[in-house]
């Protein structure tokens, strides 16, 4: 085998790589044949085959051809370093996929509470899940999850319907131009306040975090019929009863 040279077609059959692939490797300088016939045909040596085996191994580890070329041409090339690099790369991918899996699980939990989620609900829920990590600490997220579980165990539909009714009533009063010190608005503001306390467990830090979230993302509450204008109206009503 030491004295033998292989034509490109023979090497193709031997390795399972196409002739086109071997030609491409030659063109980019990744695997150039050691010899050529007088007619210009490629002839590969045993050393070329050993090098090709390294290329195929690195390609199987999902390195790009540019990366493989850089590795092989580096005089300090060490296969162990390459494997460790790939392991690190895989660990990062696994971490990202775990994060995605957790987000999809949370999204599934949201969907399970709806009969038929709309596209708007889908988009809003994705934004909410991603923004939770930005506006709420891990401890706050855990507390909110416990409150959510409690909500599920306490006639969810009735509570959510009451919340929707409060928002609808606020909309009516705002459209009618009802002052924030009117008894009807004061009553709604107190109901809102009680609802917020229940949803957040009365944690003032969570309430402030939620306010920051909705101030920065007013579109997030549109699924509940909430507009930026209505949110400001409710905020003023709440400030009025807290005086």
- Structural domain boundaries of the chain? 6-76, 78-112, 115-241
Closest alpha carbon to 64 in 86, 88, 93, 91: 86
Distance of CA 192 to the CA centre of its chain: 33
CATH topology of domain 6-76: Multidrug-efflux Transporter Regulator; Chain: A; Domain 2 (1.10.1660)
Residues 6+ apart with CB under 8 A from 135: 209, 210, 212, 213, 216
Weakly modelled stretches of the chain, pLDDT under 50: 1-2, 223
The Cα–Cα gap between 61 and 39 comes to: 37
- Find where tokens 């007013």 sit: 218
Per residue in 148-203, pLDDT (tens digit) is: 666 555 555 666 677 778 888 988 999 999 998 999 999 998 888 887 777 777 77
What is the pLDDT, as a whole number, of residue 22?
95
């Amino acid at each position: 085998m030491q004295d033998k040279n292989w034509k490109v077609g023979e090497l193709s059959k031997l390795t399972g790589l196409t002739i086109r692939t071997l030609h491409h490797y030659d063109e980019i300088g990744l695997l150039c044949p050691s010899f050529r016939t007088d007619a210009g045909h490629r002839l590969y040596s045993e050393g070329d085959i050993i090098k090709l085996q390294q290329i195929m191994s690195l390609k199987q580890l999902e390195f790009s051809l540019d990366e493989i070329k850089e590795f092989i041409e580096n005089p300090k090339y060490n296969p162990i370093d390459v494997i460790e690099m790939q392991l690190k790369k895989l660990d990062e991918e696994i971490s990202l996929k775990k994060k995605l899996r957790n987000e999809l699980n949370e999204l599934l939990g949201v969907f399970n509470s709806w009969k038929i989620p709309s596209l708007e609900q889908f988009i809003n829920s994705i934004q909410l899940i991603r923004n939770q990590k930005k506006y709420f600490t891990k401890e706050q997220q855990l507390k909110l999850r416990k409150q959510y579980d409690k909500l599920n165990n306490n006639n969810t539909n009735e509570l959510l319907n009451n919340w929707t009714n409060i928002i609808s009533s606020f909309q009516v009063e705002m459209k009618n131009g009802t002052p924030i010190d009117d008894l009807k608005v004061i009553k709604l503001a107190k109901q809102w306040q009680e609802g917020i306390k229940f949803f957040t467990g009365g944690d003032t830090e969570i309430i402030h975090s939620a306010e920051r979230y909705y101030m920065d993302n007013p579109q997030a509450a549109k699924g509940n019929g909430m507009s930026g204008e209505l949110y400001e109206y409710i905020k003023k009503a709440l400030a009025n009863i807290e005086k």
